[in-house]
Amino acid sequence: MKTNTNEFKAIIAVHLFDRLNDIENELKTPNEVAKYSYERFNGEYNHDYNKKRLPNLQNRVADYLQGLPFQLEFENYRIIELAKKWEQLPKNADDRQEDKILNNYWNFMAFQILKFWKANSMDISKLY
């Protein structure tokens, strides 16, 4: 499935809603989840030192995600399972194909989160 299809956009939106949601408060709307995750990133990680160290916003979000602030998949086999479920990887993928998915996973998720924030009216220009 192509990542620019409406079907994939709906799948990723549901996934991000579930994974970025506050465990304790169980936010009810995508806008609440976007605001919560946006403010958490901005407050915890988006300070001047990291802006200088990682001037690219997508790279900065990807680096933040690797610290596991949310419930995203992080184990290689789960990432591979997710890629196969989303049809981003063939069921009989070889090691090279799996490595490509694993090497790009955090940047891919950062890109999808930035899109999720924008779609839910978060002003990402304030993060630069």
Higher pLDDT, 59 or 6: 59
Q: Is residue 93 part of a domain?
A: yes
Q: Is residue 108 part of a domain?
A: yes
What pLDDT sits at residue 22?
82
Question: What residue numbers bound the domain in which 78 lies?
Answer: 6-127
What pLDDT sits at residue 23?
74
Q: Is residue 1 part of a domain?
A: no
The pTM for the full model equals 0.93
Q: Is residue 56 part of a domain?
A: yes
Please name the amino acid found at residue 118: K
Write the DSSP assignment of 17-63 as a string of letters: HHHHS-TTT---SHHHHHHHHHHHHHHHT-SHHHHHH--SHHHHHHH
State pLDDT tens for residues 40-55.
Answer: 999 999 999 999 999 9
Rg, C-alpha atoms of the chain: 15
In the predicted model, what is the mean pLDDT of the chain? 94
What pLDDT sits at residue 35?
95
**Cα 116 to Cα 30: distance, rounded to the nearest angstrom:** 9
Q: Is residue 40 part of a domain?
A: yes
Domain total in the chain: 1
What pLDDT sits at residue 115?
96
State pLDDT tens for residues 9-38.
Answer: 999 999 999 999 987 778 899 999 999 999
State pLDDT tens for residues 103-115.
Answer: 999 999 999 999 9
What is the helix (H) or strand (E) element at residue 15, kind and residue range?
A: helix 6-20
Three state DSSP letters for 53-110: HCCCHHHHHHHHHCCCCCCCCCCHHHHHHHHHHCCCCCCCCCHHHHHHHHHHHHHHHH
